[in-house]
Structure 1
Amino acid sequence: MSPSLLLEVLRPDFLLRNALYGCMTVGLVCPLVGVYFLLRRMVFWGVALPQVSAAGLSLAFLLQGLGVGWLAGTEPGERHLAIMGSAALTAAAILALVLLERRKAGFGEGRLGALYAASAGLCLLFVSWNPHGETAMLGLLKGEIVAISGHDLGILCGAFAVVAACFLAFQREFLLVSFDRDTAEILGRKVLLWEGLLYALIGVTVSLGVMTAGPLVIFGFLVLPAMAALPWARGIMSLSLLASLTGGASAFIGFLLSYAFDLPLGPVAVCLAAASLGLSSLLRLALHRR
């Protein structure tokens, strides 16, 4: 990659600037959520929830295509309806998982595996039943970050800015209710309020992210940057910042490689995030051997 390519990409009138900004936003913010997935041993949530969100997208478009009641033609656009369906199904899945976890019902990993399998199957069925054709729907489910509009980018950046601000501002509360509920209650913390906010932020991140970038990219950025940063962090703040920087760097370099070599943006960015995890592991191993 030449310096001229970098200058071209950074120009204010660059044709794909929305895709660059969208990819960077996802890469910077998703790892902040992924930190809590990792610390709370909820990594498999990062696999299941994006698939649930994708099923919500396909269901929303199916209902719109069938002209079911008030869903037909009353929303400002298809994407607003898709976000609504994605967020609703994601919120329902989070609520069900939390309630089952509180009641110690069954095996957690088994529940997540069942949720993933059911969501994947339903997603494919909803797509196949859609009267408007499978091609457009499959494109939406894979994520169309390269074709993101200015309006959608504004929604994504605004929502993710709120998510990032909440995770950075309320780290102490989220950490306390995540690892020591009893102490949090003794200290007078409103545990249900903070847990509800945490899960709401997770739901917003997953549903909007899947709509923009697709399930694969969201899962990759939720898990890989946080895992890469974990060995080098000395606290929750340093872990969050390192994970976010790793995700942002993977997204930016992935965009450059994708643009230079005409490669799909999402998979390239995820592969770079995975490479950062591999490099982090190798460096850690080399230091331990000394």
Structure 2
Amino acid sequence: MFDLDLLSILLPAFAAGILVLSTHVLLGSQVLKRGIIFIDLAIAQVAALGAIIAHTNHELEHLPYATVWMPALFALLGAGFIAWLAKRMADELEAIIGCFYVLSAVAAMLLLSNDPHGAEMLKQLMSGQILWVNWSQLVLPAVVSGLVLAIIALRPTILNGAGFYLLFALVITLSVELVGVYLVFSSLILPALAVNKLRGKGKWPLAYLVGLLGYGIGLLLSASFDLPSGAAIVATLAVSTIAFRLLQPRLLRESSITKVEAN
């Protein structure tokens, strides 16, 4: 049985997962549709690079909210660059995005190579520290997530144009700070992949369910067995996705039989 102290850690962590999933499931579906799978890794890594520069540059470090607007600036510039490339080099876009990710990762390693705390910071940005998220850290992501969801609800066609890259950069920036690069990628791709073969609006609750199961079970395993929280959640998200895809044909078959019998 969990005590109150453990619950006080798990609840904000799970709330962070809900916030991340709220926008990432929809955006991840668009990533799959566009066939630009590495864009989330690339933008997340670019945002992490901005965070590293904000942390390691003493002049920037003391500016108000530098650890927020620097990653956002880098993410927006990266997203703008990819949007520009999408119109001019569409046939090679995925390869260029992959190179963009690798170069950003290498730049981060070089910047932190002489920092005594560099390895720990790099690990934190990649794997995240979701178990140590507190309620105050969720205020800004909650506001931004709400605005992004409202924009998508009022103007769903924005996901089909260049506006997608702007929304993508905004949510990725905040998500990297909360959960790390690996969980950002997994939250975008795995729930969306779980329902990728389904059609209609009914697939979205299922995608969110896959994501919530992944985060919930991952956090419980992490807390119970002292496992790295980010890695545990990525693993349980993957298992949830695979399980859903394996069960999907049977569920669809049973649903079809039920409809036939009802008619």
Q: Shorter-chain TM-score category? A: 0.7 to 0.9
Measured against aligned partners, the alpha-carbon deviations of 1:66-120 in whole angstroms (never above 9, x if no partner) come to x3xxx24231xxxx31221211111111111111221237611220121011011
Q: What TM-score, normalized by structure 1, do the two folds share? A: 0.77
Measured against aligned partners, the alpha-carbon deviations of 1:137-182 in whole angstroms (never above 9, x if no partner) come to 23541322222233212122222222233334432x235xx2xxxx
Distance 1:106 1:36, change over 3 A: closer
Alignment of 1:242-253 (within 5 A): 242-253=206-217
Alignment of 1:19-30 (within 5 A): 19-30=13-24
Q: What TM-score, normalized by structure 2, do the two folds share? A: 0.84
Return the offset for 1:240: 3.4
1:134 pairs with one of 106, 118, 127: 118
Return the offset for 1:241: 3.3
RMSD: 2.7
Return the offset for 1:285: 5.7
1:107 aligns with 2:92: yes
Unmatched 5+ residue regions in structure 2?
255-263
Distance 1:174 1:259, change over 3 A: same
- Tell me what 2:260 maps to: none
1:60 aligns with 2:54: yes
Tell me if the contact between 1:29 and 1:164 (Cα under 8 Å) persists in the aligned partners.
Answer: yes
CA distance in 1, matches of 2:132, 2:248: 39
Tell me if the contact between 2:129 and 2:229 (Cα under 8 Å) persists in the aligned partners.
Answer: no
- Number of equivalenced pairs: 253
Alignment of 1:1-290 (within 5 A): 4-5=1-2, 14-64=8-58, 67=59, 71-75=60-64, 80-104=65-89, 107-130=92-115, 133-141=117-125, 142-171=127-156, 173-174=157-158, 178=160, 195-231=161-197, 233-235=198-200, 237-284=201-248
Q: Which secondary structure state, in structure 2, belongs to the residue aligned with residue 92 of structure 1?
A: helix
Distance 1:117 1:261, change over 3 A: same
Unmatched 5+ residue regions in structure 1?
179-194
Tell me if the contact between 1:206 and 1:218 (Cα under 8 Å) persists in the aligned partners.
Answer: yes
CA distance in 2, matches of 1:282, 1:151: 39
Q: Which secondary structure state, in structure 2, belongs to the residue aligned with residue 43 of structure 1?
A: coil
Return the offset for 1:216: 0.4
Q: Which secondary structure state, in structure 1, belongs to the residue aligned with residue 195 of structure 2?
A: helix
